[in-house]
């Protein structure tokens, strides 16, 4: 069903008396006077989130409304909650790693119908700017980002702008929780390792930091046939890195990572990823490289960790490449999804906790402590 206007999508669906098949169950107990969705909201930065009933998303003509079935809990959400991101305006609903079902579409949407199972990149392109026209929607000049530029998916419903550009069809074989875990960390790692790092079979990959991003990079590197060295300070995460395919692990509390990597690889790795985002891990990642190696910065660097020193003499002398990586375009998802569907990649192994929306509201302020050993996803909104 398509629509336009400024009232909540469920009011329009009910008034039309022609709900889509999947939306029958959503709408059967609702009346226009009681249409509110449940969401986790914070009124001020660095204050507790509360679960409350708020108005349904207000649709734009280019948008789709998604009934959220799962949403990841990511450290980027914590940065938004802390006030580190200028796109976040109060009050706010976080959440940018999502999967669910299309329940309504705007009047200008041509490629999507209700009932479609979908996921979405965390950074959405407009489809019209110079970057989007060149195929780089992940750095769109006019991007929208659920959970940052707009209310996000810590809610029963979320609006996705420019749906024809940004929605990704989800195969039936991939469940919603697994799909949500792909949205930021896994997809970002996939592009970082495959497109930016250009990792090849037989090469060496070092991954500094084995949270969700790092473990994803380990799994992807292993699937590509690389020899993967995982670095962290927690034994449980290093053990999970082994399960994800790391051929070697280094405990940074007992070994100096750069020295250990140089000795292990006899001169350094081809590709090194800073998956944490600190001055130390960035420095170590660059120094871990062999001549003509590629450093990929994925971990966000804010606050006291921003603007790290760079060993520029090594960059020049070894002809190193320093690359950033920011998400992945929707049209690039099929290769990754086909590898997941075929069992070559198993992101479900990274899901360590499945929580309710209420539990997520309590966990978000603690994300700077990196709770859990893997990825946490919301799979219950009641």
- Greater confidence (152 vs 304) lies with 152
Q: What is the pLDDT of residues 50-68, one digit of tens each?
A: 999 999 998 899 999 999 9
d(CA 183, CA 327): 9
Q: What is the mean pLDDT of residues 363-379?
A: 86
For 160, phi then psi, to 5°, come to -115, 115
Residue 35 pLDDT class (50, 70, 90 cuts): confident
In this predicted structure, what is the pLDDT of residue 7? Answer: 54
Q: What is the pLDDT of residues 213-269, one digit of tens each?
A: 999 999 999 999 999 999 999 999 999 999 999 999 999 999 999 999 999 999 999
pLDDT at 23 over 60: no
d(CA 340, CA 228): 19
In contact, 367 and 342? CB cutoff 8 Å: no
d(CA 269, CA 254): 21
For 64, phi then psi, to 5°, come to -120, 145
Domain formed by 2-170+346-380, architecture = Alpha-Beta Complex (3.90)
d(CA 349, CA 65): 29
Instruction: Please tell me if the domain spanning 2-170+346-380 has the same topology as the one spanning 185-324.
Output: no
Identify the helix (H) or strand (E) that includes residue 63: none
pLDDT at 315 over 70: yes
> Among 4-13, 177-186, 327-336, 357-366, which stretch is predicted with the lowest mean pLDDT?
4-13
Residue 9 pLDDT class (50, 70, 90 cuts): low
SS3 category, 173: coil
- 12, 18, 25, 36 from 30: Cα distances, Å: 12, 14, 10, 9
Q: What is the pLDDT of residues 181-195, one digit of tens each?
A: 998 889 999 999 999
In this predicted structure, what is the pLDDT of residue 224? Answer: 98
In this predicted structure, what is the pLDDT of residue 300? Answer: 86
Q: Which CATH number fits domain 185-324: 1.10.10.10, 3.40.50.720, 3.30.1490.100, 3.40.50.1110?
A: 3.40.50.720
In this predicted structure, what is the pLDDT of residue 90? Answer: 97
Domain extent listing, the chain: 2-170+346-380, 185-324
What residue spans of 203-353 are helical by DSSP H? 212-223, 235-243, 257-265, 279-287, 312-317, 333-341
Q: What is the pLDDT of residues 273-297, one digit of tens each?
A: 999 999 999 999 999 999 999 999 9
């Amino acid at each position: 069903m398509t629509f336009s206007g400024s009232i909540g999508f469920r009011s329009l669906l009910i008034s039309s008396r022609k709900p889509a098949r999947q939306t029958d169950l959503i709408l059967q107990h609702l009346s226009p006077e009681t249409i509110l969705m449940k969401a986790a909201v914070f009124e001020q930065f660095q204050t507790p989130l509360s679960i409350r009933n708020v108005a349904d998303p207000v649709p734009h003509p280019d948008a789709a409304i998604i009934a959220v079935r799962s949403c990841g809990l990511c450290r980027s959400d914590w940065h938004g909650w802390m006030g580190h991101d200028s796109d976040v305006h109060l009050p706010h609903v976080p959440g940018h790693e999502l999967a669910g079902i299309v329940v309504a579409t705007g009047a200008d949407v041509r490629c999507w119908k209700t009932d479609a199972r979908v996921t979405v990149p965390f950074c959405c392109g407009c489809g019209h700017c110079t970057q989007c026209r060149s195929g780089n929607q992940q750095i769109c000049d006019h991007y929208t980002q659920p959970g940052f530029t707009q209310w996000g998916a810590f809610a029963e419903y979320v609006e996705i702008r420019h749906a024809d550009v940004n929605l990704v069809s989800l195969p039936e074989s991939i469940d919603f929780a697994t799909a949500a875990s792909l949205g930021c960390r896994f997809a970002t790692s996939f592009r970082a390792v495959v497109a930016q790092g250009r990792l090849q079979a037989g090469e060496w990959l070092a991954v500094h930091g084995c949270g969700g991003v790092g473990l994803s990079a380990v799994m992807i590197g292993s699937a590509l046939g690389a020899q993967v060295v995982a670095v962290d300070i927690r034994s449980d995460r290093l053990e999970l890195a082994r399960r994800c395919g790391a051929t070697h692990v280094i405990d940074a509390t007992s070994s100096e990572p750069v020295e250990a990597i140089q000795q292990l690889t006899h001169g350094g790795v081809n590709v090194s990823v800073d998956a944490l985002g600190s001055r130390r891990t960035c420095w170590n990642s660059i120094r871990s490289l062999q001549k003509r190696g590629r450093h990929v910065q994925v971990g966000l660097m804010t606050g006291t960790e921003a603007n790290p020193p760079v060993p520029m003499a090594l960059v020049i002398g070894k002809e190193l490449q320093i690359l950033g990586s920011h998400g992945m375009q929707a049209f690039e998802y099929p290769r990754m999804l086909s590898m997941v569907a075929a069992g070559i990649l198993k992101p479900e192994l990274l899901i360590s906790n499945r929580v309710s929306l209420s539990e997520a509201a309590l966990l978000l302020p603690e994300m700077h402590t990196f709770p859990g050993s893997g990825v946490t996803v919301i799979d219950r909104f009641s």
